[in-house]
Amino acid sequence: MDRRIILYLFFFISPLLAYGQTQISGRVIDEQGEPLPGVNVFIKNSYDGATSSGDGSFEFLTSVEGDQVLIFQLMGFHQVELNIQLEGKALKTPDQIIREAITDMNAVTISAGAMEASDEKKSVILRPLDIVTTPSAMGDIVGAFQTLPGTSTLGNDGRLFVRGGDASEVGIYIDGLRVGNAYGTTAGNVPTRTRFNPNLFKGTFFSTGGYSAEYGQALSSTLALNTKDLSLRSQGDLSLMSVGGGYSHTLANEKQSLTASVNYFDLKPYQSLIKQDFDFERAPWGRDAELALQKKFSNGGIWKVLARTEAGGMKLREQPPGEQNSDQTLDLKNTYSFIQTNWRRSFESGWTIFTGAALSDNSDQVNLDSVNLNRKNFLFHSKFSAIHDFSDRLSVNSGMEYFVRRYRESRSPHNPMQSFDDGQLFAFTEWDYYLSKNWVLRSGLRWGSSSLNQETWLDPRVSLAFRLSEQSQVSLAGGSFSQLPVDNLRVLNSQLKNSESNHLILNYLLQTEGLTFRAETFYKSYEELILFEGYPQFPLNPRNGGKGFAQGVDIFFRDRKSLKNTDYWVTYSFVDSKRQFDQFQTQVQPGFAPKHNFSVVVKHFVTDLKSQIGASFSWNDGFPYTDPNLSGEMNRKTKSFQNLSVSWSYLPRQNLIIHGAISNVLGAENVFGFEYARQPNTEGRFESRAIGQTAPRFLFLGIFLTLSKDKSANQLNNL
Amino acid sequence: MKNLLTSLSLYLLVLTLAYAQPNAYQEAMKSQLAAMQQIDSPEKGATVKNAFLRISEMNSTEWLPLYYAALVEIETAFRFDGNKDAAFDQAIATIKRAEKLSPSNSELTALHGYALMGKLSLDPASRGQELSPQVMQLFGKAIDQDRENPRAVILMAQMEQGMAQFFGNGPEKACGMARLSQELFDKEKEKIDEHYILPTWGEAAAKELYSTCN
């Protein structure tokens, strides 16, 4: 043959031959051997590839040759690269397993003791909006949490009581930093509220026990509040309420936002219209100013500052039991400041660094007739923590914390000033290990020390969660928890040690679209509780040595789908608790731990009325108290407590909300206990006075107006 | 000699045709854009999305394949049953990758808002307060970045329409925007030729919204 023809053939035919195609086929399966559809299978550096079908199989033609890399790619799964050799004949690869990556979205979460309110995560119990719209809460964060399992409502206190623990056993945190005196100071059985506005927070994490090693110095519970990130637009918010008013202004751009607000409340006009059962000489009042700053850095870091200062007070006339003609006057003034700053950044390398500091400064001045009590609490908390994800299966969170706690107290005219200063150092480490996306083991250690009593301690904690099905899981948590006594006892005896509690919790959680069912059972022990002589208001000779326990079950059911535009939740908590503490000689059921607690919250949206109508009902079987006319301690119980509250929120315009609420609509005459005379009367009986409600009902009416130049809309008009 | 030159140049031409395909990227995009019109099942949606992702692997500096991968994912989630929340999240992750290649891109910003609008639509009662300002802000930003982007305007119009219905206000604002977007669509059409692979979707939605205005 002519050489040239051969040459031509070689030149012209061979490229076309090379363009001939090879078939590649195979099957993709997951770790359980189930076929995986939707996997992108392709040859690296080519357009050639295919998507696996319903049975996990794929096939495609390719024109490339030689040593190649076949890539299996599916979002949420680890990418696999397979070396293949293409020699012109069809290639069938063996079944390829690809492993699912474990992420926050698909992995089991530890739900023992934990209840989360968030818009971002999956296993949440409440949304941030639910807090504001729970009728009985009257806009108070803690008020909303009182409708959740494990808590009890004390209408004369207002604070959070968890599973047989007193209010000091709940640690409150903002962005991981401890808040000192988080509740407004109160006295004389007037209920208090959380100082912080729920609108500051994007999410809350509430634990009723068995919580993370990142938190400590709280025997029962932690409430972690996370502040909002950048505000989206500049706006002004005006509020006018039956009890006061406020204005808040936000300036925002893409990198930073700043919100400044002032508020004033005064119950005087309200109380002049509606008769109170308490004899207020000066109605409760308060003013506050707040500043919040958020700044986002281009490297992904975020810096936040929150500062608040407030002052308030009230004056109340009381008649001590058994003393008909001798009123005593209680005059309370409080000033409070809180400032905190924190910075957080996630790095591509799997590290997340957090650092922050917070300072709380509280000053109370209480005059009870001729006695003046001055109290100053100061708390400084600094924290550094680092999270490192070694892989999607192992993540470690470790950190160091330093606290300064300072307390000053003087009782004039008799006692000189008493004080203490304590420096506390903590270190913690917590390891999350995912055996698979259905199994997680968390083990943690928390070490602490106090300069005041020279004590060091170590609290180990462990929890485990296992997913039973797509919708349900069980988790188990246990550990030990330490807490130093409250300031006014430590000042009397600086050698007081930690009180201790051990928790064991078993939790079952079922979540389907719109439905949540949660059941939890727990046991906790108390050791080294503080005992003293005298009265809670005037303790003498405090010492460690009290003990007790709490055990119980709680059930929570929430349904957002069965009834149209309706959301409701039902909670029942049973707590069996006995402890020897405070002035008690024996183990008793504490006055703050009713046995049976029940609550229902219902919210219904009426589109035609542009309104949300809500109702909440709380009930418990009564509070135990000691009647000195009978033998023994905690020998009687009040009648059951009940409160039905209703609310109406009307949204006539996008930027206007009118909200009205009434608590205790039925006017139940709730009694929280009895106060007894210290000396018996001439007939030898101790006279008593019921501790009741400030008023049968509380009415709230508020108008909330948002003023903003709707930037996006305005720009459109200029187009 | 002349023969040899002819042979060589012919040879090069064949080689070029067989291997190089100077517009391989263009061709691949166009064939997937055609396939995109034929999606009638979630499986087909996944196939087209994956094809766009493969193109982006090859052309790792182009934002457009990632844009279309996200768009297909969003449209598929809107049209068919499945884990919609996860799909919108994945689309947002894809858009964020594209934004690294092309920052301040009006089309990507608008698409991000569209995906978030999808998340909002799954649970408006509890997500509304959090997400609707974010969605509005993204559409506003997209309009700011390119005032000739008809998709940013029609998406904003749809949000405005939803808000007006909820609050019982008149449709004037939404209708005005729908009309404006139609003008922008007409303007865009003048640029479209056979090589045009930039986004052109959205006109049907504009027409549909506008038809409710009269």
pLDDT for A89 equals 84
- Note whether A194 and A183 are within 8 A (CB): yes
How confident is the model over A210-268, as pLDDT tens digits?
A: 999 999 999 999 999 999 988 878 889 999 999 999 999 999 988 999 999 999 999 99
pLDDT for A319 equals 85
pLDDT for B5 equals 64
User: Given its phi and psi angles, is residue B116 left (phi above 0), alpha (psi -120 to 50 degrees) or beta?
Assistant: alpha
A223 vs A197: CA distance, rounded Å = 14
pLDDT for A131 equals 75
- Note whether A223 and A204 are within 8 A (CB): yes
CB contact under 8 A, B11 and A653: no
Average pLDDT value over all residues in chain A: 90
Q: Rounded to the nearest 10 degrees, how much is the dihedral formed by the CA atoms of A126, A127, A131, A135?
A: -80
Q: Nearest-CA distance from A26 to chain B in Å?
A: 16
How confident is the model over A627-681, as pLDDT tens digits?
A: 999 999 999 999 999 999 999 998 887 788 899 999 999 999 999 999 999 889 9
Count of Cβ atoms closer than 10 Å to residue A589 Cβ: 21
Q: Please determine, for residue A712, whether its predicted confidence score (pLDDT) is greater than 50.
A: no
Residues A376-405, mean pLDDT to the nearest whole number: 96
Burial class (CB in 10 A: 0-12, 13-18, 19+), A611: middle
Q: Please determine, for residue A179, whether its predicted confidence score (pLDDT) is greater than 70.
A: yes
What DSSP string describes B15-71? HIIIII-TTHHHHHHHHHHHHHTT--SHHHHHHHHHHHHHHHHHSTT-SHHHHHHHH
Kindly state whether B50 is in contact with chain A, defined as any CB-CB distance less than 8 angstroms.
yes
Chains A & B: contacts with CB separation below 8 Å: 106
Test the B interface: residue of A44, A75, A611 with most B CBs within 10 Å: A75
Q: Nearest-CA distance from A11 to chain B in Å?
A: 7
Residues A12-21, mean pLDDT to the nearest whole number: 55
How confident is the model over A521-530, as pLDDT tens digits?
A: 999 999 999 9
Least confident interval from A53-62, A79-88, A121-130, A314-323 = A121-130
How confident is the model over A92-116, as pLDDT tens digits?
A: 999 999 998 888 778 888 888 888 7
Copy the structure tokens of residue B170.
Answer: 């008149």
Q: Nearest-CA distance from B203 to chain A in Å?
A: 18
Identify which of A15, A129, A567 has the shortest CB distance to residue B18: A15
Domain A3-97 has CATH 2.60.40.10: yes
Count of Cβ atoms closer than 10 Å to residue A661 Cβ: 24
Low-confidence ranges of chain B (pLDDT < 70): 1-22
Homologous superfamily (CATH) for A112-718: TonB-dependent receptor, beta-barrel domain (2.40.170.20)
Task: Label each residue of A261-277 as H, E or C.
Answer: EEEEEECHHHHHHCCCC
Residues A31-47, mean pLDDT to the nearest whole number: 92
Identify which of B43, B86, B173 has the shortest CB distance to residue A54: B43
pLDDT for B166 equals 74
A320 phi, psi to nearest 5 deg: -60, 145
A512 vs A84: CA distance, rounded Å = 44
Q: pLDDT-based confidence at A324, cuts 50/70/90? A: confident
Residues A568-578, mean pLDDT to the nearest whole number: 96
With CA atoms as reference, report the closest residue to A656 among A704, A608, A612: A704
Kindly state whether B27 is in contact with chain A, defined as any CB-CB distance less than 8 angstroms.
no
Q: Nearest-CA distance from B79 to chain A in Å?
A: 17
Which 72-101 residues of chain A touch chain B by CB within 8 A?
Answer: 73, 75-76
Residue ranges per domain, chain B?
1-107
Indicate the length of chain A as a whole number.
719
Least confident interval from A133-142, A217-226, A348-357, B151-160 = A133-142
Report which residue type is found at A27: R
Helix-strand-coil split of chain A, %, nearest 5:
10, 55, 35
Chain A positions touching B130 (Cβ under 8 A) are 119, 128-129
Q: pLDDT-based confidence at A711, cuts 50/70/90? A: very low
Which 172-201 residues of chain A touch chain B by CB within 8 A?
Answer: none
Tell me how far CA of residue A701 lies from CA of A140, A243, A605, A648, A665, in angstroms. Answer: 15, 8, 19, 10, 15
Kindly state whether B171 is in contact with chain A, defined as any CB-CB distance less than 8 angstroms.
no
Kindly state whether B5 is in contact with chain A, defined as any CB-CB distance less than 8 angstroms.
no
- Note whether A646 and A602 are within 8 A (CB): no
pLDDT for A114 equals 86
Q: Nearest-CA distance from B193 to chain A in Å?
A: 24
Q: Is A619 helix (H, G, I), strand (E, B) or coil?
A: strand
A248 vs A229: CA distance, rounded Å = 17
CB contact under 8 A, A38 and B160: no
- Note whether A231 and A249 are within 8 A (CB): no
A388 vs A40: CA distance, rounded Å = 30
How confident is the model over A116-131, as pLDDT tens digits?
A: 776 665 556 677 677 7
Q: What is the ipTM of this complex?
A: 0.84
CB contact under 8 A, B50 and A712: no
Which 244-263 residues of chain A touch chain B by CB within 8 A?
Answer: none
Pairing verdict, β A22-29 and A96-97: parallel
Q: pLDDT-based confidence at A7, cuts 50/70/90? A: low
Which 110-129 residues of chain B touch chain A by CB within 8 A?
Answer: 125-127, 129
Least confident interval from A77-91, A292-306, A328-342 = A77-91
pLDDT for A718 equals 36
Test the A interface: residue of B4, B13, B109, B126 with most A CBs within 10 Å: B126
∠ CA A264-A265-A266 to the nearest 5 degrees? Answer: 130
Residue ranges per domain, chain A?
3-97, 112-718
pLDDT for A103 equals 83
B153 → chain A, closest CA residue:
A716
How confident is the model over B6-34, as pLDDT tens digits?
A: 666 655 555 554 455 558 899 999 999 99
Q: What is the DSSP letter of A639?
A: P
Copy the structure tokens of residue A4.
Answer: 């040239």
Tell me how far CA of residue A663 lies from CA of A277, A487, A669, in angstroms. Answer: 15, 34, 12
pLDDT for A424 equals 98
How confident is the model over B131-155, as pLDDT tens digits?
A: 888 899 899 999 999 999 999 999 9
Q: A684: which residues sit within 8 A by CB, 6+ positions away?
A: none
Q: What is the DSSP letter of A75?
A: T
